[in-house]
Amino acid sequence: MRIFIYPGSFDPVTNGHLDIIERASKICDKLIVAVLVSHNKTPLFSMEERTDMLRRVIKECNCTNVEVECFSGLLVDFVKKKNANVIIKGLRAVSDFEYELQMALLNKNQSPEIETLFMMSSINYSFLSSSMVKEIARYNGDFKGLVPECIVEDIADKFGIKEPKGEL
């Protein structure tokens, strides 16, 4: 069985993340979207909120071979625990590649049997990040087309927005 891990903070999940999830799920038997418990970042959404949003998004996109789990610690340890051997990383730009290459090489040094597969984001989402979504929402800008429809209200509620701007 080919089990892939797609790690990230997903704070919140964006349409760019969803694009990678849908595409990666087509090339493996099981994809585990692994939500990172980060000790270096203070997320806007709690772990429970992030995993709940991801589960709703995945249910709507009908990706039947995708699961959502949380993890902390070393990614390679989580990958081994799940009997996976491939880490999926989404890339938007050259700047992403430099950081992700370093991480992939570190992971390879720790566990040579684990491969990292880089997937370029769709051109439609190459500019998109969770940080940008939060910044737009913070000032009540139009973020509706940047995230899956089923989590628009979660983001609006977090920022106290009564009626989010924009069209879906």
- List the end-to-end C-alpha distance of the chain, in Å, as a whole number: 37
What is the total residue count of the chain? 168
pLDDT at position 167: 64
pLDDT at position 168: 53
| 39 annotated to bind ligand | no
Told to judge if 39 belongs to the known catalytic residues of this protein, a careful annotator would answer: no
Phi/psi at 122 (nearest 5 deg)? -60, 145
pLDDT at position 37: 87
H or E segment and range at residue 88: strand 86-91
| 17 annotated to bind ligand | yes
Told to judge if 56 belongs to the known catalytic residues of this protein, a careful annotator would answer: no
- Spans of all domains in the chain: 3-159
Residue 120 vs residues 36, 68, 90, 135, 158: alpha-carbon distances, Å: 21, 22, 6, 24, 30
Q: What distance separates the 2 farthest-apart alpha carbons in the chain? A: 50
Told to judge if 130 belongs to the known catalytic residues of this protein, a careful annotator would answer: yes
pLDDT truncated to tens, each residue of the chain (168 aa)?
999 999 999 999 999 999 999 999 999 999 999 999 877 778 999 999 999 999 999 999 989 999 999 999 999 999 999 999 999 999 988 878 999 999 999 999 999 999 999 999 999 998 999 999 999 999 999 999 999 999 999 999 999 998 777 665
Q: Helix, strand, or coil here: 141?
A: coil
Is residue 95 within 8 A of residue 87, CB to CB? The reply is: no
Told to judge if 46 belongs to the known catalytic residues of this protein, a careful annotator would answer: no
The token duo for 126 is: 């190459």
Alpha helices in 27-119 (DSSP H): 47-61, 75-81, 94-110
Fold of 3-159: Rossmann fold (3.40.50)
H or E segment and range at residue 30: strand 30-36
152 CB neighbour count, 10 Å cutoff: 20
pLDDT at position 81: 98
